[in-house]
Amino acid sequence: MATLTFLGAAGTVTGSRYLLEAGGERLMIDCGLFQGPKELRLRNWANFPVTPQSIEWLVLTHAHLDHTGYIPRLVKQGFRGPIFASAATVDVAKLLLLDSAYLQEEDAAYANKKGFSKHKPALPLYTHQDALESLNRFHAVDESKPLELSSHFSLRFLRAGHILGARIIEVTVSDSGQTRRLIFSGDLGRNHQLVIREPEVPETGDFLLMESTYGDRLHPTDDFRERLASIVKTTASRGGTVIVPAFAVGRTQELLYVLRELLETKRLPSLPVHVDSPMAIDVTDLYRQHHEDHNLPMETIEAQGVKPFSPSGVHFDRSPEESKALNDSRFPVIIISASGMATGGRVLHHLARCLPDPRNTVLLVGFQAPGTRGHSLQSGAQFVKMHGAMVQVRASIQSMDNLSAHADAGEIMQWLGRFRSPPRQTFLVHGEPRAAEALRQKIVATLGWSVDVSSYLLKLHL
């Protein structure tokens, strides 16, 4: 009999990994890194719950590291199968994994230099070379037909919204004369995202694994263009800098798109916008190339000579020298820099410099997982720890969830309401316990479906 095991994203938003077993074969869906609190991050270092050599295939919903960031380590530990994903996901994941390896190595080197790690020497979870080797296993899927892996597994990909390349994966599992259909929602996007098309709706399935990141919340409905303009203008009038720790994939491109509109329509005075993240710059190029997921009329836009992701006065700062030069900037300026939850990357240097000055603003534009610096800032921390030192927080901290790439509770309910018939069983994944429980109650009360919140390492007979 086929089984499903929850290897992550159970009771938390990170570490998405699910294992399907049928007819003695193993298929893994997503292979994410655990991020946030230390007890979760330690799972990245523990032995993998099943032997990596015994897994035949890996399939990815999308490129975010909480769905892909463990791949180099899985390959290092012996996984030898192909990794399937949409063409855009393959391209984006390559960038993210190399960057992730770079950050792992940089953090380990920095910890060794400063001697603040308990581990001597501090080691990276994986290296650049490990990441490069894992990239050889990636294959872009032909989405025009089902992906038949074997007599036991057949897959279909549906648009998930969320970010470039994101997909919902429908898996048909056959074992011992029984056939089951499972739907992995991956991360579900919103109905009206700026750049990426809305999610498709599967007809139904026996089992649905539904993300619940915003299961207890609704996104604000105020005019985010107005709010962004007001935050930038207020900060600029004090002579301050706006630092936006932004996810390199999706959020950066949407911010650039909105800033271009605001500058073009003179709702913002002209001021320099810096994208200080080589990866965000590379991903912006991929957003330009992969039109298949866009709801923007790219051909029309570009025929008119408009570069959708290039506001006037934008600087794409690739080199470390350009990044360091920003430390001396004295005029009002917007700096968009990764990582989005301030867990690493160049944004740390900007935060260390800008947080103690009350003229500056830190604008958080995405979900901040508990345990991250972004979450501490959002929760009103007076100090945050950066590279072993405590940095005082006197800058204004603002949050804007309007640009979220995740459906909120209302949008999830709408999406579920469009299923042709209820799944036999729905499992909520990828959510903090409170968000998942709130969504569970809402689905039960509104749709009358049978819903459980998933738990780590739970193994289910299908």
For Zn ion, the binding residues (CB under 5 A) are 64, 187
What kind and span of H or E run contains 435?
helix 433-447
- Assigned token pair, 77: 């530990």
Give, as one character, the DSSP assignment of residue 294.
Answer: B
**64/219 with CB nearer Zn ion:** 64
- Dihedrals phi, psi of 84, to nearest 5 degrees: -105, 140
Non-local (6+) Cβ contacts of 174 within 8 A are 2, 22, 23, 151, 152, 153, 154, 180
Can you tell me which residue has the tokens 């009329």?
A: 297
Q: Are strands 451-453 and 425-429 parallel, antiparallel or unpaired?
A: parallel
Nearer Cβ to Zn ion (367/427): 367
Minimum CB distance to Zn ion smaller for 64 or for 152? 64
Query: Residue 368, SS3?
Result: coil
- Closer by beta carbon to Zn ion, 99 or else 187: 187
Q: Dihedral (C-alpha) 36, 38, 43, 44: value to the nearest 10 degrees?
A: 70
Beta-carbon count within 10 A of 459 CB = 12
- Least separation in angstroms between residue 250's CB and Zn ion is 8
**Residue 79 or residue 247: which is nearer to Zn ion going by CB?**
247
**Minimum separation from the CB atom of position 210 to Zn ion (A):** 14
Nearer CB in complex with Zn ion: 208/407: 407
Beta-strand relationship, 178-184 and 167-175: antiparallel
> Between residues 89 and 378, which has the closer beta carbon with respect to Zn ion?
89
Shortest approach of Zn ion to residue 304 CB, angstroms? 32
* In the complex, minimum distance from the CB of residue 287 to Zn ion, in angstroms, rounded to a whole number: 15
Within 261-416, strands assigned E span 273-275, 314-316, 333-337, 361-364, 383-386, 389-392, 396-399
Give the up-direction half-sphere exposure of residue 275: CA atoms within 13 A in the CB hemisphere: 28
